[in-house]
Chains A and B, each alone.
Chain A
Amino acid sequence: MISVEPMLLVQNIVNGVFMGLIYSLVALGLALIFGVMDIINFAHGDFVMIGAYLTFLLATTLLVDPTLTAFITMPLFFVIGVAVYKGIIERVLGAEPLIQIAVTVGLLMVLRNLALMIFKAEPRGVPFTVFGFPINVGPITIAASRLVAGIVSLVALFLVHMLLTRTKWGIAMRATADDREVAELMGINVKKVYAVTFGLGISLTALAAALIMTFSRADPYLGLLYGLLSWVIVAMGGLGGVIGVLASGLIIGVIEAIGISVVSAGARELFIYLTFFLILWFRPRGLFGRR
C-alpha cells in the first residue's frame, strides 16, 4: 500500500534529527520557565516567530548572516523577557492555571497580531546565508545550514546544562524549582531567579529563531506550531532536565520525518499531535520522569 524509498526515508530522518535539535532548543526555554517558575506560558512559540522576523529585519538591514544576528537578538530578547516577566507574569505567579493560560494566550495574540500588523501576513525569508550549500555524505545530502543549526543547538543545550549543574545561578534555579519556600529561606532571591529564568528562556527562542531563518522563513503563523511543539516536548520529557528535552526533541523530529516520508508533508503535525495524545494518556509523567 504505502511504499517508501528507503534512501528517502533515511534522508528525511537525518533532516528530522537536525530539526529535532532545534525543537529541543526551543522547548528548553519553555521547560525552564515551566519547570522553575511553574508558569504556563502559551506564548512561547510566538517569541520564536517574533525572533524570526527580527532576524529577517536585522539580517537584511545590516547585511549580515542570519546566524550572526543572534548576538543582537539574544540579549535583546533577554531584556524583553525580563520586561514581560515584570510587567505581566509576576502578577499572575501562583494564580489559577486558567488565569495564567488566559494571560499568556493574551500575550500570544498581542505578539502574533503585532507581527501581522507590521508584516501583513507575508512570509519573509532571508535571501542569503553563507551556509547555503549542501554537503554530500554518500547518497545523503545534508544542507549545511541545518547542520550548523543542529550543532549550534547542541552546543547551546550543553551550555545550559552546564549552567544548570555547575554554576551557582543554575543551582539556585534548580533549588527554586524544587521548593520555592525553602530556596527563599536559604537566601535565594527567588524573584530575581524567576526574572533571569524567564529572560533566559525567551532569549533561547531568539537563538533558535536565528538558526531557523537560515533555511526557513518567518510567518505570523509560526507561533502556534512551535508553541504546541515545545509543549509536546515538555510533556514528553521536559522536567527530566536538558537530557530529557534533547531526547524528546530528537524523538519528535524523527517522528515528524517519518510522517512526512510515509504519509505526506501535510501530515507532519498529525503525527506529532497523535504522539502527544498517546504520551499524555499512557505516560503522563513523560518518558524521562516528569514530576
Chain B
Amino acid sequence: MAKPNKILGIPRRNFYGIIVFALILSTVPALLRFNTYYVYLATDIILIASLVAAWNIIGGYAGQLDLAASAYMALGAVVTGNLLAFYGLTPWLGIPIGVLIALGVAVAVGYPTFRFGIKEVWYALLTAALVVILSRIYWLIYGSTETYLPTYEWSWFYLRFNRYEPFYYMLVVMLAIVLWINYRIRHSKLGYYLNAIREDELAAEALGIDVRRYKLYALMIYATLASIIGGIYVCITGVVGYRNFDPWLGITTAVMGIVGGLGSVEGAVMSGMILRTLEDYLRGTIGSQYPGSHLLVYGIILIVVGVLKPEGLASLIEYVKKRIPWLKS
C-alpha cells in the first residue's frame, strides 16, 4: 500500500527538513570565505553533530547510556588509517572493512551484555571500560607511536586533500544520512519497540518484544554509523594511534546527546553543534590561559540541564514548534 505522506520511508516534512538543513549547511564554507581554519572547525562541528545523531539511536531511542562512541569511531579510524598507511588500500574499501570490524566488536560486546541484562549504570561503565580496553589492546599491538597517512594534493581515490571542503561536504551528506536513518527508525517498528524499551524495559518484554534483539540492532546501527564517521575522521586528521580511543570523546558525545534531550535527534544535532562551537570558541579565546575551561563550561551546562531541565534542548524545540503554526504536523 502506498503511503503518500512519506518519502524514502520518512515523513515528507522531515525529508524536506533534512534537504533544507543540508543546503543551508552547504553554504557555510562560502560564508567563511573558504578560510582553511574556519572550514576545519566547521568540518569538526559537523562531524561531532553526526556522531551525536548516531548516538541518539542507542542513547536516545533505546535509552542505553553508551559511552563507547569513540570506541566504534576509533575502530573505523584505525582500520581505515592503517590499511591506507601500510597497504595503500583506498579508504573507499578501508571504511567498509572498518565498519565490519566495529560491527564485530559491537556484537561481541553487545550480545552477551544484553543477554545478561546489563543496563543503566553498569552498561555505561562497561562501555566506558570498553574504550579503555581497546585503547590498551591497540597500545600493546602497535605501541605508542603514531602513524601518519600518506599525503596527496587532491586525491578522491585516497580521500586525502590539502583542503577541508571535500570532507566538509562529505560529512554534510553523512549527517543527512544519519538524520534520515534516525527518522526512518523513529517511524518504523524498530523505533516503536525501542521507545517501549526505553520507557519500561520490563513492560516491553512482557508485551512480547524481544528486548535483547532490538537493543542489539540499535547498537549495531549506531556502531556502523560511528565507524563510518571515524573512517572519514582519520582521513581528515591523517594520524592513527592509540589516542584515537579517547574515553572523553565517548563521554562528551553522550553528554551532548543528553543535553539535546533524549530521543530527539533535532535536539541532539543542535546541542552537538552548539556545544562544539562553544567549546572551540572557548578553547580559542580563554583556553590558552586556562586549559580545560571549555570542558568546565560543559560540566556546568550538564549539571544545570540535569537538575533543572532533564528534557534538554528538545523541550525548547517543541516550544518553538508550538509557536510556529506551519511546523505543526
A residues apposed to B, CB below 8 Å: 40, 88, 91-92, 95-103, 105-117, 120-121, 220, 224, 228, 231-232, 235, 263-264, 266-267, 269-270, 273-274, 276-277, 280-282, 284
Contact = CB atoms under 8 A, between A and B. Distances in A.
B258 A102 contact: yes
A112 B124 CA distance: 19
Contacts of A103: 302-303, 306-307
A270 B136 contact: yes
B296 A114 contact: yes
Interface string B96-119: 000000000000010011001110
B120 A97 contact: yes
Contacts of A107: 299, 303
B132 interface: yes
A108 B302 CA distance: 10
Given A270-B136, A273-B132, A281-B112, A101 B65 contact: yes
A97 B137 contact: no
5 tightest A-B contacts by CB? A106-B302, A109-B299, A116-B292, A113-B292, A103-B306
Interface residues of B, number: 45
B299 A266 contact: no
B317 interface: no
Contacts of A263: 140
Nearest to B299: A109
B63 to A, nearest CB: 7
Interface of B: 63, 65, 109, 112-113, 116-118, 120-122, 124-126, 128-130, 132-133, 136-137, 139-140, 247, 251, 254-255, 258, 262, 290-293, 295-296, 298-303, 305-307, 310
A105 B113 CA distance: 22
B133 A273 contact: yes
Which of B126, B296, B300, B307 has most A Cβ within 10 Å? Answer: B307
Contact of A273 (B124, B129, B251, B307): B129
Contact of A112 (B120, B262, B295): B295
A109 B299 CA distance: 5
A282 B290 CA distance: 45
Given A270-B136, A280-B116, A281-B113, A220 B122 contact: no
Contacts of B295: 109, 112-113, 116
Nearest to A225: B132
B126 A280 contact: yes
Contacts of B129: 228, 232, 273, 276-277
